[in-house]
Amino acid sequence: MTDRIFSKDATKFAQNIYATRKGRVREAVLKEDLAFLLQHASPLHVLDAGAGLGQVNQWFAEAGHRVLHLDGAEDMVASARQRHAQAGLSQQYEYRVAPLQSLGEEPLQFDLVCCHAVLEWLADPFAALQVLSSKVAPGGWFSLMFYNRTAKLMANMTYGNLDYVLAGLQVKKKVRLSPQRPLEIPQVKNWLSQLPLTVVQHSGIRCFNDYIKEAERIDEQELIALELQYRRAEPYRSLGRYQHLLLRKEK
């Protein structure tokens, strides 16, 4: 089992994820959760590990914060660099093509560390969390988003894919952009409990969107409003396709 690096997939991500309703819902919830940090009075030093095309960290650059954009795929970083240059934000960035584990060798610390939709692609998620936690400065924040196994199981039951569920969500033919190692919420929280971090916020992302049939009939803005309203209310939160935990390190 090895880490998954998305080389030569920048265009697919842009078209199949970020340019879709599910991508827009995901970004809307993340932006609402992170709004108070975006509005921080003094400039923050932000690390985005596994940053992909850089949509989320661009919000911070636009707000005047400094960003280290780190990703293991060269084409992802190149596409992000071009995107940010077109927005006139290049001066806010440092870019690196490297795995997040490479940070373990450096003494750098950040006011905010982001790791979104990365853990489910790693061979050793807990080791990655240990590295990332060490990069959060005292009093700093850690924004973690991961793919939720419970939601994947529930969605496939809703779709009637009983054989897939009975097979433990394993198939011989892998879908390239669909995580094959989704994570359980209690497991991730157990890992985090072993680190010097405290959960401050916990939101579900796409609590409703992924269960809607004929989604084109639903007004997108009304759907986003409901996603925001119920993102922290159970049982809806635990059914979100992604889980977003915002944690803080003690000063």
Task: List, as residue ranges, the binding site.
Answer: 26, 50-51, 71, 116
Give binding residues for S-adenosyl-L-methionine as ranges: 26, 50-51, 71, 116
Residues 6 or more apart whose Cβ sits within 8 Å of residue 124: none
CB 251 within 8 A of CB 139: yes
Look at strands 242-249 and 110-116 and give their pairing. unpaired
Residues 6 or more apart whose Cβ sits within 8 Å of residue 89: 58, 61, 62
CB 113 within 8 A of CB 141: yes
CB 113 within 8 A of CB 222: no
Cis peptide before 179 (omega within 30 of 0): no
Bridge partner list, 27: none
